[in-house]
């Protein structure tokens, strides 16, 4: 029984617009990908495959290999693809055969706590083959039609909020199921427009059950400069 992690870090970070790939942006002196990898290791994960931006594989490997928290981790770095889905698939292909449970995690969720990572892994080990952490949605969410000429969008529906969950990473899977889900959905990975936005969606497409466990606000996705400020505050809070 070996748990492995796929850590996606190959995105460009266009919405953060930091001038460098988002996973390399520093938070309290450490790159986002380093924060995320450390927490995976502290949760007990040894096998970690990172998908890095083109031309950054060597620097990502150096950065992670030099870290004392990751001393006992086995880190592999692969080049990411054209979509997050493609980057996950590339990393998945590089996971050792002995790995039977996979945690798929985003460097963008750099502060996902150890307790959350362990909760997801435990749920998979207890027999749920696909597990996502989720939180109740606090906004009212509207489904809309395509925008008209002046940019306004017509509301089509208001889903019952009590049935909605905002899902996070790490998402945990039985390895064979995740491999099959990615193989079946492979043609979607060519661009972000067609790709699945999370791995659980590929499992859902196989008509296999996906389960939600409790998420954690600290696992927020760092997308914008404002999110980075929030993450800084959270890290400071954590250190108190």
Give 38 or 128: the residue with its C-beta nearer to ligand CTP.
38
CB 128 within 8 Å of CB 171: no
Sequence-distant (6+) residues with CB within 8 A of 199 are: 85, 88, 104, 171, 173, 178, 181, 182
CB 111 within 8 Å of CB 219: yes
| Shortest Å distance, C-beta 213 to ligand CTP | 20
CB 128 within 8 Å of CB 211: yes
Handedness of CA 48, 115, 140, 162 (dihedral sign): positive
User: Site for ligand CTP (CB under 6 A): how many residues?
Assistant: 22
| Shortest Å distance, C-beta 158 to ligand CTP | 26
Give the whole-angstrom CA distance, residue 79 versus residue 53.
6
Give 13 or 128: the residue with its C-beta nearer to ligand CTP.
13
Give the whole-angstrom CA distance, residue 24 versus residue 50.
13
Within 119-178, which residues bind ligand CTP (CB under 6 A)? none
In the complex, residue closest to ligand CTP by CB: 11
Within 48-107, which residues bind ligand CTP (CB under 6 A)? 51, 80-84, 87, 106-107
Give 108 or 177: the residue with its C-beta nearer to Mg ion.
108
Give 11 or 185: the residue with its C-beta nearer to Mg ion.
11
How many CB atoms are closer than 10 A to CB 138? Answer: 8
Give 76 or 125: the residue with its C-beta nearer to ligand CTP.
76
> Which residues bind to ligand CTP, rule: CB under 6 A?
8-15, 22-23, 51, 80-84, 87, 106-108, 221, 223
**Footprint of Mg ion on this chain (CB under 5 A)?**
11
């Amino acid at each position: 029984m070996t748990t492995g992690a796929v850590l996606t870090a190959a995105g460009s970070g266009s919405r953060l617009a930091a001038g460098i790939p988002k996973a390399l942006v520093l938070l309290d002196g450490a790159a986002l990908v380093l924060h995320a990898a450390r927490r995976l290791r502290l949760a007990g994960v040894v096998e970690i495959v990172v998908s890095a931006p083109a031309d950054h594989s060597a620097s990502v490997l150096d950065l992670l290999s030099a870290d004392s928290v990751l001393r006992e981790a086995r880190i592999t770095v692969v080049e990411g693809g054209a979509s997050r889905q493609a980057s996950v698939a590339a990393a998945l292909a590089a996971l050792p055969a002995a790995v039977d449970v996979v945690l798929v995690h985003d460097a963008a969720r750099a502060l996902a706590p150890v307790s959350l990572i362990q909760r997801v892994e435990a749920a998979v080990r207890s027999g749920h083959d696909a597990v996502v952490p989720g939180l109740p949605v606090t906004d009212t969410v509207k489904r809309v039609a395509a925008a008209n000429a002046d940019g306004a969008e017509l509301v089509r529906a208001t889903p019952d909020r009590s049935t909605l969950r905002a899902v996070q990473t790490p998402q945990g899977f039985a390895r064979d199921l995740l491999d099959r889900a990615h193989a079946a959905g492979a043609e979607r990975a060519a661009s972000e427009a067609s790709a699945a936005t999370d791995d659980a969606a590929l499992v859902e497409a196989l008509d296999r059950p996906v389960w939600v466990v409790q998420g954690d606000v600290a696992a927020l996705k760092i997308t914008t400069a404002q999110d980075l400020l929030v993450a800084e505050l959270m890290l400071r809070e954590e250190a108190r």
